[in-house]
Amino acid sequence: MTAESPSIFSRIIDRELPADIVAETDDLIAIRDINPQAELHLLVIPKTGAYRDVTELADDPELLAKVVRLAADLAKQYADGQFRLVFNTGAEAGQSVFHVHAHVLAGATLDEGRLA
């Protein structure tokens, strides 16, 4: 990500692109995923583009904790508090936008491909 080409998430945060926003704080925005992989599929996105992935976000434990807390709050609101929190790190792991974000997944479709 460069200053000349902001990520799709930066463009959503700046309201250059539309999104179904479900929550927003000073530091975070949460939106519905446009290609849901579960009954509930939300993205929790820090408003800063300073971190490409969760390994970089680990250098900011306060912001990482805010991401997890908002994910839990959204899961309580939309999915009785039960959810899967996924961070893809790297293209081969499925990361397609290199602006850190967490996937909040919940619902019946999670029964398939269960991780223990």
> Rg of the Cα trace of the chain?
14
Q: Sheet of 102-106: strands edge to edge?
A: 21-24, 28-32, 40-46, 102-106, 84-86
Alpha helices for the chain (secondary structure H): 8-13, 54-57, 61-79
41 is catalytic: no
Could you give the residue numbers annotated as active site? Answer: 101
